[in-house]
A and B are shown apart, each in its own frame.
Chain A
Amino acid sequence: MAATGYLMLKALHPLSKLLVCAVGLAASVLVFDARFQIALIVLTGLSLVVLNRTSPLLLLALMVPFCLFGFGFLTTSLLFRQDSDFATRMAGEAFLSSPAFSAGLTLFLRAVACGIISVFFALTTDPGSLVRALMMHARLPPRIGYSLFAAMLLVPDLASEGQQMRIARAMKTGRRIRRVPGLGEVISLVIPLLAFAIRRAGRTAVALEARGLSPDTLRTVTNAPRFRRSDAFFIIAALGIIGLCVAAAVSDVALRQSPSLPQVRHAYYSASNPDPVFCSVQLSELLKVFAQGDRVTTGADCNPSALTVCLVCPASYACSDRGQCFPADLHDGGNGSLAL
């Protein structure tokens, strides 16, 4: 079964995988929901491990750069949001449920989701087949297509040339070659490798021309991958799963916005406007929706100057049972209740 899957993923048409991955990336960017991103990550990772026999360790190693990238979003969100001072003062559960952390976590997961989708495409697609498919079905000009082939050949050759240069330098300096080159060594190799790449590019251009590659004449593309039924099945199944995940995420948000739930409104106050003012909850601003009795976090667009969390109401304000601030002079005897 696994062997069949292994064959299936590799044998799928590169453009069908490209389509599914593009949709997955778009959904990952557009749906700002941590659970959706987690679903994408888990499903993609599982399909690679189970169907492509990708080593989980390799997968984890490949995800390290994306995790680091996403971690940047997380820390930026925590440290540089407007309410970060408050967020960093919070501790424990309150910290984890803070809007800054929640937003940062979603951004982090989004980066990882995008990364694992890219890795899925790279690990299951032969670059040569992709270029041929693009030339065949997407009208990619052969000159560009074969330039890509040449570039693919250049990458390992650059590594090999660079290694030979390192050996030559090690010989000259009389030092043993280091397993990993230092920064200075890498910089000193840039110009010679660039010169090598330019020479190679010139030779490749001559080779392509000598073998008849023309800019405009009709040509055959052999060994281009063909669309099969399995591609249709893959596209339908993959897009269906992504669609279901999107639908689940969107409906969950909509459910929370439903009027049948306890009324959730933001109350805000300011010194110049001590009367309680209510504004509708904006989905894009609502970082966490609370049930009745929970503490409510006000949205930034409601009144940034009065941004607060109810339990830490401004001076001369009290907190209602619903966790909303109200002027203390409206307080009904100091028991903290107010009919809103």
Chain B
Amino acid sequence: MRSDPQSPRTGFAAEWHEVTVQYPFTKWQAVGPVSLAVRPGERVLLLGPSGSGKSTLLLTLTGLVPNSIPATVSGDICLFGANVTTRQPWAWAAQVAQYFQDADQTLCGMRVEDEIAFALENRALPPMRIAECVTEAMRRVGVPESWRSRPTSTLSGGERQLVALAATLVQGAPLFVADEPTAHLAPKAAGRLHALLTECDPHRSILVVDHRLEGLIQHIDRVVVLGRDGTILAEGHPRDVFRTKRDLLASEGIWCPVASALDARLEEAGLAPPVTPLSVAEALAHIDPGTAPREHVEKALPAVEAFVAEYRVRSAKTAPGAPILARLVNADCAPFLGPTVLRTIDLAIHEGEVLGILGANGAGKSTLGLCLSGLLPLKAGSRTGAQGGYAFRRPENQFTAATVRDEILDALPKRIAVKAKAECVADTLAAWGLSGLESRHPFELSQGQKRRLALATLTSSDRWPLLVLDEPMAGLDAHGVAMLTNEILALHDSGRAVAVITHDMDLTLRLCPRSVIVGEGGILADGPTQELMKDMALLRRAGLAEPSCAEALQWLQRGTSC
């Protein structure tokens, strides 16, 4: 499938023509054949399930694949009318700014202001001009002045991502390429990033891969959807694609805007919005309780209620008298080799509870999770209760064996018989959708598979009555998130306590009856998630945002009160 075949090739900012990519020692093509073009000033969103080759496709754009990352690439790739092979990858930096999935792929280990200045130094711009650009980029992205002289190694993962964004934006390149820029960002920072990406600039083209579509999709000119085989499944304006291809996207496990689900329900009710909505507000605009006919509102009520019900907490609330499984009392928490970031923490988690841990980037959520699980010693205070298991944000850190099978075997109790162990391994792999991957090295798996394997090793035995999951959904496609959500609910049903550290407000609302909001060196709030989500002042203070369904809830309140 070819994108916009009528346009002249020289008029494109970027173009792939019948491009295929195959990595060494693999039997399948990672990408393609793909033909895709991006016009000057166009904002293109690239969607696709995990492993469909989106990141690889972006890396071919300036020749990093195959020049720096070995692979076999066929077909033609052009940038601004010139074949990409005519220059070395570094020579395209003035034309193409690349923001990678992992901030560590962008940052080089300098101080914050030096990181941001790096690309401009490479272009030999005058120092005064560089200083101005750095200050402006920091202001736009929201990097505080106090970070200017800090080494990037002292920043948290989310903070590094902000600096990486500033370091990429400062290039002022006519083509900006971003690979999952919001994967680890708190809602407020993600909103700011989307605003920066999509601010009106007729001379800048944007090509972005992102799973978090709210706040972004309204500003996208064209959506291109890659299938699991690395070819283009669908493309067009978001308003066309997300209505006409809705079922196809859902079956492929590809993220759609939240409004798509509401659009589908309203369509079933015979009240489809006149144009495909890209936000909940758009979906409900034509049935506003204040202006729309009453019968329309009443007809829409069940559809909206059903939509909101999707966001209600699915796990049952913990019984009031449930015993406490683990407790932090007056605890001071600090990361490994770092200063104390949380003070006088009092937090308890009960048996069978699913607890949400929310907060801005760098608030100390991971540190709190590690302390709660008992894996990180406290600086002060005490912890009581059972030892917990921890699923790291980077699942690779959990893998110690050479094969997927051995990872599961290592996690099983030693006393089990060999035959029973083999059966247990097979059952675990099947339960987590990892069958057929037994002999693969854990590092060879896709990101979603790695996360599932990490959780499988933690849940294959009854050793951990408490599990702390650090951003378990980051970077996963819709299928992966749905599967993981069901697994977490199954863990809850089995009586285990689960603490979920996340930036995803919708997920928290669905999974966690109770949440704590971390910020300002302590716990800002602890209570029922639904109540916390209504407190806009608190959410703003903590750098969070209300969940996607908030507008639908408000509509329901107005609709039922009329």
Q: Tell me, in angstroms, the Cα distance from A156 to B217 when the chains sit together.
A: 38
Q: What CA separation (Å) do A168 and B411 show in the bound complex?
A: 11
Whether A151 lies near B375 (C-beta < 8 A) is no
Contacts of A176 in B (CB 8 A): 387
CB-based contact A222/B108 at 8 Å: no
Evaluate contact between A165 and B397: CB separation under 8 angstroms. yes
Q: In the bound complex, do residue A153 and residue B107 qualify as a contact, i.e. CB atoms below 8 Å apart?
A: yes
A222 with B389: CB separation less than 8 A? no
Residues B108 and A153 in contact, CB atoms below 8 Å apart = yes
Q: Is the CB of B68 within 8 A of A209?
A: yes
A154-B68 contact, Cβ under 8 Å, with A159-B336, A211-B122, A222-B127: no
Chain B residues with CB under 8 Å of A165's CB are 397, 400
Q: Is the interface of A mostly helix, strand, loop or mixed?
A: helix
Partner of B110, one of A149, A154, A156, A161: A149
Q: Does B398 contact A (CB under 8 A)?
A: yes
Interface 0/1 of B102-139, CB less than 8 Å to A: 10111111110110011111111111001100000000
Contacts of A170 in B (CB 8 A): 375
Q: How far is the CA of A149 from the CA of B463 in the complex (A)?
A: 42
Evaluate contact between B93 and A210: CB separation under 8 angstroms: yes
Q: Which residues of B contact A (CB under 8 A)?
A: 59, 62, 64, 68-69, 88-91, 93-94, 98, 100, 102, 104-111, 113-114, 117-127, 130-131, 151-154, 167-168, 171, 335-337, 370, 375-377, 387, 389-390, 392, 394, 397-400, 410-411, 443, 457-458, 463-464
Which residues does chain B contribute within 8 Å of A128, judged by CB atoms?
A: 110-111, 114, 151
Give the distance in Å from the alpha carbon of A210 to the alpha carbon of B119 in the complex.
9
| Contact residues in A for B130 (Cβ distance below 8 Å) | 220, 222
CA distance A153 to B102 in the complex (A): 15
CB-based contact B114/A168 at 8 Å: no
The CA of A170 and the CA of B377, in the complex, are separated in Å by 13
Q: State whether the Cβ of A89 lies closer than 8 Å to any Cβ in chain B.
A: no
- Chain A residues with CB under 8 A of B390: 167-168, 171
7 smallest CB-CB distances across A and B, nearest first, come from A153-B109, A212-B93, A212-B122, A149-B109, A164-B397, A163-B336, A211-B119
Besides A192-B400, A203-B104, A222-B130, 19 other CB < 8 A contacts? Answer: A152-B109, A152-B151, A153-B108, A153-B152, A154-B109, A156-B153, A159-B337, A165-B400, A167-B390, A171-B398, A206-B105, A207-B100, A209-B68, A210-B93, A211-B90, A211-B98, A211-B119, A212-B93, A217-B122
Q: Please measure, in the bound complex, the distance between the C-alpha atom of A154 and the C-alpha atom of B151, giving whole angstroms.
A: 12
A residues 206-242 touching B (CB-CB < 8 Å)? 206-214, 217-223
How far, in Å, is B215 (CB) from chain A's closest CB?
26
Tell me, rounded to whole Å, the shortest Cβ–Cβ distance linking A79 to chain B: 40
Contact A222 B114 (CB under 8 A): yes
- Our pick among A150, A210, A222 for the contact of B109 (Cβ within 8 Å) is A150
Given known A-B contacts A174-B463, A218-B124, A150 and B108 have beta carbons under 8 A apart: yes
From known contacts A171-B390, A207-B107, A211-B167, infer whether A220 and B120 are also in contact, taking CB-CB under 8 Å. Answer: yes
Q: Could you give 22 example pairs across A and B, Cβ below 8 Å?
A: A153-B108, A153-B151, A153-B153, A159-B337, A165-B397, A167-B375, A168-B390, A168-B397, A171-B375, A171-B398, A200-B104, A204-B104, A206-B100, A207-B108, A208-B108, A212-B91, A214-B91, A218-B124, A219-B121, A220-B120, A220-B126, A223-B114
